[in-house]
Amino acid sequence: MTQNMSFLRKFFLYKCLFALTFWNYANLSVEDELFTSVSNNFPENGSNKKIKSLPPLYGKSPQCKAGSDWVVIQNTTESLSLSEITNCNVKKLVAFLSNFRQGSRLQNLTLTNVSVNWNYLMEIFQTVWHSSIEYFNTNNVTQLSDIKSYNFNYSGTSMKALTMKKTIITDLYFVQDDLYKIFADMNIANMTIADSEMIHMICPSSKSRFRYLNFLKNDLTDLLFQKCENLLQLETLILKKNKFESLRKVSSMTSYMKSLKYLDMSNNLLRHDGAEVQCQWAESLTELDLSSNQLADAVFECLPANVKKLSLANNQISNVPRGMVELKSLEELNLASNRLADLPGCSGFTSLQFLNIEMNSILTPSADFFQSCPRVRELQAGHNPFKCSCELQAFIRLERQSGGKLFGWPAAYECEYPESLRGTQLKDFHLSLLACNTTLMLVTALLLTLVLVATVAFLCIYLDVPWYMRMTWQWTQTKRRAWHSPRVDQGNVLQFHAFISYSERDSLWVKNELIPNLEKGEGCIKLCQHERNFIPGKSIVENIIDCIEKSYKSIFVLSPNFVQSEWCHYELYFAHHKLFSENSNSLILILLEPIPAHLIPARYHKLKALMAKRTYLEWPKERSKHALFWANLRAAISINLLKADENLYEETD
């Protein structure tokens, strides 16, 4: 009896609430009543308060726990976000959403954390399909089981876009078409099914209204949409992060999509080995993203002819072949993160305006890039391992001349090699024009060589170096012959007190004054004179050397005539050579007439040195001083020749 009273009491309360609700519905429009009720009891955006304003229209299931209502995440006039949708509150949700018929202000609905079976999910979808909602989003749909055929009514909908993320199917055994057909035949413009481990999608059974399809991060393969002729209005297809492998099959898939403009195939497993079968792309395709795949150089044989924006970033491309199919419409090309060693030319990209070639293996990019690519307005070439050398100077000058066409300059452009310049920005790297211009360097080196040769030649001529070399050679040859001659012919014994060297123009003084005063009188001084002591048959140079070596002293009669005589120069040279080779004091200088320094030729620098360092006898003009002059000269050369010869041998030993 008590239980019956309790039941009647609850029934009466529900009846009162139902009557009150009906009265409110009669006095307010359905939409105004619902939003007024929701707005009065739900906080604004971000609320987690459970719905309590609407009475339950159905009884609770015995398996459902008390308070198993959904949670409101966001509530505005046009948008509604609900969470914690379960099998227990689907009926209430469907009844609630049924009130938002077409013409209502609610346009955006988001359901998160949905844990329902297949039939309940389809019931929610069917209700939304015939409501005012235009953008329907589900996130984290789990426990999707008992999948079977469902007769979905697509007619009379306001839906424009469906987005489903993280949908997990728990049913292990079901007919694939029962699942995929529901979504493939949806008569909406945009659909996204992402991050849901979807392995396939069938072709729509009739001409589809799809303009945008996004199957991001699934498990789709090359079997998708092969020979599908019902996606004629599709303009954007995103298949990023799936498991496609054949680029040729992808191209074949698009060939039936006559309106396709944008295709994203990034982050797949695509390859192309340059098969003989040509790729067939949709002629309408203008944007293609093939980044983050396994494509190599052969990819340029399988590209849509009318593409305008192409991304091949993060692949294995090492070269852009010149014999590829021409892409005359291509305006933007992304080749970042590949293996390219240089900038590609534009022979096949006559309309190219933007090129990204960052993070490749470019050491010294070609400086003629902008000449071969006149339409390029922006080049992204940073983050490459640049080798700072002369070849890079032209590229750096190119940046200055291009007027800011290098994107990221200067921060993204740094030297990687050599080690000493690593981290140096290219704008701070400078080499002289001479160091980098081979022609200029060769010309400069040639000019310096010519100047050096001319200078050496001038010094040689000025200092009479050839003459000295010739004399040294003759002296060497004479000594060599003397060394190999018999002992009798060597004449090592001193035979003369002095050898006289003089100019023919001074011969009268020598014959009338010098020789008579030295050879006559006391001491028996023997003088060597070329006219009487040179051996016939020998060369003059050999006779000079021989006489100098057989003489204890060498007397040089100096005068302006002496410095003008070639043979006097020879004699002075060999006597001076003996002075240094034997470390003897054998030179006697007689200044017959004063010699102005400017009259002494440059080749007589040894004579200048001797006159500056050694004491010389000056011939006095006064007759009263002649006796002293001869006495000094006799004293300088007076010696016992035999004794001198013995001393010479001792020094030699």
- The model's pLDDT over 224-240, given as tens digits with 9 standing for 90+, comes to 999 999 999 999 999 99
Phi, psi at 410, each rounded to 5°: -100, -5
**Residue 124: per-residue pLDDT:** 95
Q: What is the DSSP string of 155-207?
A: SS----EEEEEEEEE--SS--HHHHHHHHHT---SEEEEESS-----PPPSS-
Flag whether 207 is in a domain: yes
Give the list of residues 6+ apart from residue 391 with CB closer than 8 angstroms, or none.
Answer: 364
Report which DSSP code applies to 50.
B
Report the pLDDT averaged over residues 525-531.
83
**Residue 117: per-residue pLDDT:** 92
Residues in the chain: 653
Q: What is the pLDDT of residues 65-122, one digit of tens each?
A: 655 678 988 888 899 999 999 999 999 999 999 988 888 899 999 999 999 999 999 9
**Residue 551: per-residue pLDDT:** 84
Closest alpha carbon to 242 in 262, 257, 264, 210? 264
Pick 393 or 604 by higher pLDDT.
Answer: 393
169's tokens: 């199917």
**Residue 595: per-residue pLDDT:** 79
**Residue 624: per-residue pLDDT:** 82
Report the pLDDT averaged over residues 416-444.
81
CB-CB contact of 639 with 518 (8 Å): no
Closest alpha carbon to 118 in 186, 57, 174, 65? 174
Helix axes 566-581, 605-613, angle to 10 degrees: 60
Q: What percent of the chain has pLDDT over 70?
A: 75
Please give the tally of structural domains in the chain. Answer: 2
Amino acid at 527: L
Side-by-side strand order, sheet with 587-591: 527-528, 496-501, 551-558, 587-591, 617-618
Report which DSSP code applies to 392.
H
pLDDT tier for residue 261 given thresholds of 50, 70 and 90 = very high
How many other CB atoms are there within 10 angstroms of residue 563's CB atom?
Answer: 18
Which of 290, 307, 339 is the C-terminal boundary of a domain? 339
Helix axes 465-484, 566-581, angle to 10 degrees: 60
Compute the mean pLDDT over every residue in the chain, rounded to the nearest whole number. Answer: 80
**Residue 52: per-residue pLDDT:** 35
Phi, psi at 138, each rounded to 5°: -125, 145
Report the pLDDT averaged over residues 395-415.
83
How many other CB atoms are there within 10 angstroms of residue 79's CB atom?
Answer: 15
Which of 339, 368, 393 is the C-terminal boundary of a domain? 339
Q: What is the pLDDT of residues 10-66, one digit of tens each?
A: 444 443 433 333 333 333 344 444 443 343 333 333 333 333 333 333 333 445 665
Pairing of the two strands 71-75 and 79-86: antiparallel
Of 13-22, 358-367, 538-547, the least confident: 13-22
**Residue 182: per-residue pLDDT:** 94
Which of 306, 339, 372 is the C-terminal boundary of a domain? 339
CB-CB contact of 465 with 459 (8 Å): yes
pLDDT tier for residue 552 given thresholds of 50, 70 and 90 = confident
Pick 550 or 400 by higher pLDDT.
Answer: 550
Flag whether 106 is in a domain: no
The stretches of 224-286 forming alpha helices (DSSP H) are 247-254
Flag whether 420 is in a domain: no
Q: What is the pLDDT of residues 138-172, one digit of tens each?
A: 999 998 888 999 999 999 899 999 999 999 988 88
Distances (CA, A) of 329 to 286, 351, 614: 9, 6, 95
**Residue 574: per-residue pLDDT:** 67
Cα(425)–Cα(414) distance, rounded to whole angstroms? 4
Closest alpha carbon to 157 in 135, 179, 177? 135
Flag whether 594 is in a domain: yes
Q: What is the pLDDT of residues 471-527, one digit of tens each?
A: 566 556 655 655 655 544 444 567 888 888 888 888 888 888 888 888 876 667 888
Phi, psi at 233, each rounded to 5°: -100, 0
Pick 443 or 481 by higher pLDDT.
Answer: 443
Cα(468)–Cα(474) distance, rounded to whole angstroms? 10
Distances (CA, A) of 620 to 556, 617, 626, 627: 16, 9, 7, 10
Report the pLDDT averaged over residues 403-422.
87
Flag whether 46 is in a domain: no
198's tokens: 């979807």
Strand partners, 333: 310, 355
Cα(362)–Cα(342) distance, rounded to whole angstroms? 5
Flag whether 102 is in a domain: no
**Residue 470: per-residue pLDDT:** 61
Phi, psi at 380, each rounded to 5°: -100, 105
Give the list of residues 6+ apart from residue 15 with CB closer than 8 angstroms, or none.
Answer: none
How many other CB atoms are there within 10 angstroms of residue 333's CB atom?
Answer: 24
Amino acid at 351: S
- CATH number of the domain bearing residue 264: 3.80.10.10
Pick 215 or 374 by higher pLDDT.
Answer: 215
Flag whether 429 is in a domain: no
Q: Which domain holds residue 633?
A: 494-652
Report the pLDDT averaged over residues 444-457.
88
Amino acid at 59: G
CA torsion 579-580-583-584 (nearest 10°) is: 0
Closest alpha carbon to 271 in 307, 244, 238, 304? 244
pLDDT tier for residue 567 given thresholds of 50, 70 and 90 = low
Closest alpha carbon to 510 in 519, 502, 520? 502
**Residue 286: per-residue pLDDT:** 96
Pairing of the two strands 212-214 and 108-115: unpaired
Strand partners, 131: 101
How many other CB atoms are there within 10 angstroms of residue 379's CB atom?
Answer: 25
Report which DSSP code applies to 535.
P
Q: Is 427 helix (H, G, I), strand (E, B) or coil?
A: helix
Closest alpha carbon to 289 in 324, 239, 348, 217? 239
Flag whether 330 is in a domain: yes
312's tokens: 């091949």
Report the pLDDT averaged over residues 365-390.
87
Distances (CA, A) of 568 to 100, 320, 540: 133, 81, 12
- CATH number of the domain bearing residue 588: 3.40.50.10140
